Amino acid sequence: MSPPHSTLLVAPRWRDYELIDSGNGLKFERFGAYTLVRPESQAIWLPALPQAEWDQADATFQKGKSDEGAGSWLQRRAFPERWLMQHDSVRFWARLTPFKHTGVFPEHSAHWEWVRHQIALRPHARVLVLFGYTGLYSLLAAHAGAVVVHVDASKPAVRWAQDNQAVAGLQAQPIRWIVDDVAKFLAREYRRNSRYDLIIMDPPVFGRGPKGEIWRLNEGLQTLIEQCTALLSDKPLGMLVNAYATSISPLAVLNVVQTATRPFGGTVQAGELVLMERATARPLPAAMYARWTAVL
């Protein structure tokens, strides 16, 4: 295996999303036709644009009593229950949620070309998407020709993902939607001798399974990666891990992934996912990642 390296991956510009500005613990974004202001703990600098422009945002998220609790949106114009967005040829729904999210993580688009490339190497590749949320990775993989298994513990998130499959026109593509605790699902798949060519995951810092199972990233990541490695096919294509604000660094995630995948060879890359501001081209760190690419 070649030595690991750390890299900033910049999300490509796309029509339906832009980071307009950031600062003072906030980010000012456009999702399709709507502009939003949301909390962003990384944005400790001063904004580039005047406050008057921020005040014109269509909606601003207001935190609840705790950072983890539900908040509310101050809306300055009427919003539909959901609205369409598109990246390349894949369409999906966005909406305002009580937890500041919109169902769309634009920084993930920094990986999408890699995902397409890996799937193109093997027709009908088997792809496992864990903590899949609203299903954008699953839709991308299915659109690229993969056979996809999507797992998330949240029934509402999986329903949203299924709605995204419909609006994307991918109903005929093989996506298996599963509501389950990820660790329990992986254990069953191992007993069934199931194997996957590509595994993608976006584990939360803290989460609960459908039956109250507790998940903490810093305690569970090593076991999670070991479970996933045990499900890789004889000639795997790769593994992708995204993670958000946490006490561990990208180097720690890299070390976990590199150790687990060493028997397969290949290359591990890790670092931060970055969104570039429209106002100044200033980079906003959005997530950390580790990405293992197999040698075929």
Residue 111 identity? H
Distance CA 146, CA 173 (A): 8
Tell me the pLDDT tens digit for each residue of 150-167. Answer: 999 999 999 999 999 999
| Burial tier of 128 (Cβ tally within 10 Å: 0-12, 13-18, 19+) | buried
- Specify whether domain 17-81+90-94 bears CATH 3.20.20.80: no
Question: For the chain, which residues make up each domain, given as ranges?
Answer: 5-11+103-293, 17-81+90-94
Tell me the pLDDT tens digit for each residue of 245-275. Answer: 677 888 899 999 999 999 999 999 999 999 9
Domain 5-11+103-293 and domain 17-81+90-94 have a common topology: no
Task: Please count the CA atoms within 13 angstroms of the CA of 46 that sit on its side-chain side.
Answer: 4
Instruction: Report the SS3 class of residue 264.
Output: helix
pLDDT score of 69: 67
Nearest Cα to Cα of residue 250 among 41, 49, 6: 6
DSSP annotation of 262? G
Residues of the chain with pLDDT under 50: none
pLDDT score of 2: 54
State which fold the 5-11+103-293 domain adopts: Rossmann fold (3.40.50)
